[in-house]
Structure 1
């Protein structure tokens, strides 16, 4: 699979695209929570399902919560926003407010997580697709719980067929520090299509720099 591996320039470009996407997501979340929201994606890796599950398991010993959406178009797969359970409750409290009783927070957890995941995943993927001059459609958000391997598995992809575009993501919501992960599970043709789009994007940027520099 050497042709699927992202080189350093492609990884940097993709990281920048995703950071623009999460910046837009932060602006949307700021309206939801009525306070400061900071999001950043410090690193991106393309790894196998098993390695992605191991990375999460090494960092997070307990149960995880994920919001997932399938996407199709210029490239296809499943996008997941993954949190440790404790972080997800922190995020829900930041969204619904401190004054709400604990039992009501629990009742709203599913809805608040789905809406937050929808905002972040849609912003990331829509920004990526737009800047790569492609288009994507996305399914409605679903919430599930489990461990790394369970969350990353899909009915359509076997571990041999797909790779995971794995992004660490740092949140600061209402002064709460919340960590999480974005995973995009794609088959090899889709990852190849994404790599090609990123390469075309880099070519356009470099061409523009040359033209403006001249």
Structure 2
């Protein structure tokens, strides 16, 4: 059962979707500069759910093992962000980024670094843009590549309260004519989500004020 104080109104949900889409479009621009190819990124859906629901949802959608790039963020709202791909998709992504001319044995060697850098660009771009538009700042940790199923990825850490929620974003990539699917998940405790909700409400007030 979701805490009613945390549940987003339709207007807040739309505003958050817009913030995230601006963030990923800026991240796509950074990726385009890195690889010299057109990169299209979109976030068609955003949902707020309990960690075990997020684990079950990704388990239903993806039967392959998962690869995730994780970064922790702290500031006006805190938590950890994950960029998640099915294993096969992550290899597709790496090939799209480093090109088809690289020998297969070198692809494996470069995979970890390329994933970390891609995750850093997308997650940092998304978080920094959101924070900037909400007139706040966040500090973001270095990226860490982790592997496992949804249960492992969404397990609440020992020193964290278990009443947090996951902001779960489905994302579509298109790079070098490859269609690549993935997910962004932001795990936050209830105080952080409450703070984010307040910042979104202030953002909406500013936008409405500017249009008035």
Q: Return the offset for 1:153.
A: 1.8
1:128 has 2:121 as partner: no
Q: Runs of 4+ in structure 1 displaced over 6 angstroms?
A: none
- Alpha-carbon contact 1:36-1:175 (below 8 Å) kept: no
Report the RMSD for the aligned CA atoms in angstroms: 0.8
- Alpha-carbon contact 2:64-2:88 (below 8 Å) kept: no
Mapped partners of 1:87, 1:33: distance in 2: 18
Name the residue aligned to 1:46.
48
SS of aligned partner of 2:53: helix
Which deviates further from its counterpart, 26-35 or 112-121?
Answer: 26-35
Mapped partners of 2:86, 2:197: distance in 1: 30
Return the match for 2:30 from 28, 31, 39. Answer: 28
SS of aligned partner of 1:197: helix
Q: Return the offset for 1:34.
A: 1.5
- Alpha-carbon contact 2:31-2:39 (below 8 Å) kept: yes
SS of aligned partner of 1:178: strand
SS of aligned partner of 2:202: helix
After superposition, give the CA deviation of every residue in 1:130-153 in whole Å (9 maximum; x if it has no partner): 000111000000001000110112
1:157 has 2:160 as partner: yes
Name the residue aligned to 1:98.
100
Return the match for 1:89 from 91, 97, 101. Answer: 91
Which deviates further from its counterpart, 25-34 or 139-148?
Answer: 25-34
1:3 has 2:2 as partner: no
Q: Return the offset for 1:154.
A: 3.8
- Alpha-carbon contact 2:40-2:175 (below 8 Å) kept: yes
Name the residue aligned to 1:57.
59
Name the residue aligned to 1:112.
114
After superposition, give the CA deviation of every residue in 1:97-150 in whole Å (9 maximum; x if it has no partner): 110000000000000000000000000000000000111000000001000110
After superposition, give the CA deviation of every residue in 1:46-83 in whole Å (9 maximum; x if it has no partner): 10001101110010012000000000001000000000
Mapped partners of 1:133, 1:94: distance in 2: 35
Which deviates further from its counterpart, 28-37 or 45-54?
Answer: 28-37
Q: Return the offset for 1:38.
A: 0.1
Mapped partners of 1:154, 1:173: distance in 2: 33
Mapped partners of 2:205, 2:197: distance in 1: 12
Gaps of 5+ in 2: none
Name the residue aligned to 2:186.
184
Name the residue aligned to 2:173.
171
Give me the TM-score of the superposition, normalised by structure 1: 0.96
Mapped partners of 2:116, 2:154: distance in 1: 17
Give me the TM-score of the superposition, normalised by structure 2: 0.97
SS of aligned partner of 1:94: helix
Mapped partners of 1:119, 1:4: distance in 2: 29
1:76 has 2:78 as partner: yes
